[in-house]
Chain A
């Protein structure tokens, strides 16, 4: 064999070797991450199921008896749940509206193309969005109780503030994607900044905004069940009252009512969003 035919084949060999080596390392790193994940599962199972759980007190019988207590469905309570259910829906509505109003200035700050003070206000707006989403509604509720006391107001404020992050994020992204045509047209005829915002941007993002608020309304119904903790009314308050009385049948009934309300809410939001878009 001559050197001329030998060299290309060795180059080919090298390439084949390289590919094989890469495959081996990929497979090895994939196996390694799988092993780490599995080891972590075993570690957490040991910490939680074996070390932390008192199996002497927790037996199949005890679980079965506590489950059975929930099965005593308290149907007599159902008619009395209609009013609280309406309250819950209204609370979610108010919280979503308030969330929208609070979200508008945040979206204005956090939309790259219209933020007033450049990078500083953009980062500030985005930071507010992250803060709103990062703090759980329970924590927000506890914070607002310190300001306005126990009651509906604290619950609504907590849900509204928690909604701000998502609503304003979606609005800001919609604003960043607007068609520049109408804005340029308004600017060309000498429109002010506010006129650009009101006539150029708002009509373009309105469907997205309304769709998001309806979506958030749905979530706020779920959240309002937990606001009974801070004394906000509706099904959440009934639920916490039943829990304080250890009336398990009543708890199950209230939860069924919550589920029914959420199914109704999902239908409403589905059709409302269809009507808008």
Chain B
């Protein structure tokens, strides 16, 4: 039945080979000992998937009309633009009082949005957890949808919407970042609840505790550590977003970025982008340090 014998190991009659092997060895050999027809089919299927993906890429490039001719030498051109227009960064601009104030504003927005967002995310995550939700029919789907809607809209779109409703300033920034935070932390919080040990919950329920008591005494102690870590990480992510919400009219460093860009003050733009990268890196280091410290303190 088989094609003429060749050096290919797969062409050896699989029945004979597999009967010679122990269970464990067969599991290890796995794929290589599958019947040749299956192997050929698998290879063909894999080639088909690759061809499909390459076709998709080619078709997308054509459909989106992407100017590929601009790609060669992109690094050189970027380097040249950076050197001639953006270099040297205008460090004096970012040490001015108003700009340093905006860094402080960014911190304030991120802090308030994270606190409010987490306070909102806690009940939502409780309602949206598959195992602990107090009302499976109504609250569970509604809170799931709320968290998903918060997540699916990009934080900058939230900013644009908030600015169009509340006007320029820090308040719309806080509103947008809060919604972002609810979506981000809510999902992670709910996942933490879904991973808890059911034992304490059953024990609480057996004593006749209501859902709130069960949540406070059986769920909260179990997720406290995970939630603390998630909250700090959320602050870090929210701060990263807060540095740019100003670009669309909310407060903070992004506002100055936009303002310098509109004046085509490229060296100021370079300095501001540089300062954004630096503060975000500092925030990230701080958050991972804090998370490590808290994990060690609790363990």
Instruction: Tell me which residues across on chain A come within 8 A of B152, comparing CB atoms.
Output: 222, 258-259, 262-263
Give the residue name and chain of the A residue nearest to B165 (CB).
A66
The answer to whether A87 and B244 touch across the interface, beta carbons within 8 angstroms, is no
The answer to whether A147 and B281 touch across the interface, beta carbons within 8 angstroms, is no
CB distance from B68 to the nearest CB of A (A): 8
Complex Cα spacing A136 to B132, Å: 35
Give the residue name and chain of the B residue nearest to A97 (CB).
B57
The answer to whether A58 and B166 touch (CB under 8 A), given A94-B61, A134-B284, A138-B244, is: yes
Tell me the count of chain B residues lying within 8 A, CB to CB, of chain A.
57
Total A-B contacts with CB atoms under 8 angstroms apart: 141
CB distance from B75 to the nearest CB of A (A): 8
Instruction: Tell me which residues across on chain B come within 8 A of A58, comparing CB atoms.
Output: 166-167, 171
B67 contacts the other chain (CB 8 A): yes
Contact residues of B between 63 and 103, Cβ < 8 Å to A:
63-67, 70-71, 74, 77-78, 81-82, 85-86
Contact of A94 among B60, B74, B105 (CB under 8 A): B60
Give the residue name and chain of the B residue nearest to A136 (CB).
B244
Complex Cα spacing A222 to B151, Å: 9
Interface segment, one of B2-10, B120-128, B154-162, B194-202: B154-162
The answer to whether A226 and B156 touch (CB under 8 A), given A48-B170, A67-B165, A97-B57, is: yes
Contact of B78 among A49, A139, A147, A263 (CB under 8 A): A147
Instruction: Tell me which residues across on chain B come within 8 A of A147, comparing CB atoms.
Output: 74, 77-78, 81
> Would you give the 0/1 interface string for A130-161, flagging 1 where the beta carbon is closer than 8 Å to chain B?
11001110110011101111011100100000
A25 contacts the other chain (CB 8 A): no
Instruction: Tell me which residues across on chain A come within 8 A of B81, comparing CB atoms.
Output: 146-147
Complex Cα spacing A53 to B44, Å: 64
Instruction: Tell me which residues across on chain A come within 8 A of B56, comparing CB atoms.
Output: 90, 93
The answer to whether B157 and A255 touch across the interface, beta carbons within 8 angstroms, is yes
CB distance from B196 to the nearest CB of A (A): 23
The answer to whether A54 and B63 touch (CB under 8 A), given A134-B281, A222-B154, is: no
Could you tell me which B residues sit within 8 Å of A by CB distance?
53, 56-57, 59-61, 63-67, 70-71, 74, 77-78, 81-82, 85-86, 105, 108-109, 111-112, 115, 148-149, 152-154, 156-157, 160-161, 164-167, 169-171, 174, 240-241, 243-244, 247, 251, 261, 269, 273, 276-277, 280-281, 284
**Closest 7 pairs (CB-CB, A-B):** A90-B60, A147-B78, A44-B112, A262-B152, A44-B108, A48-B170, A134-B280
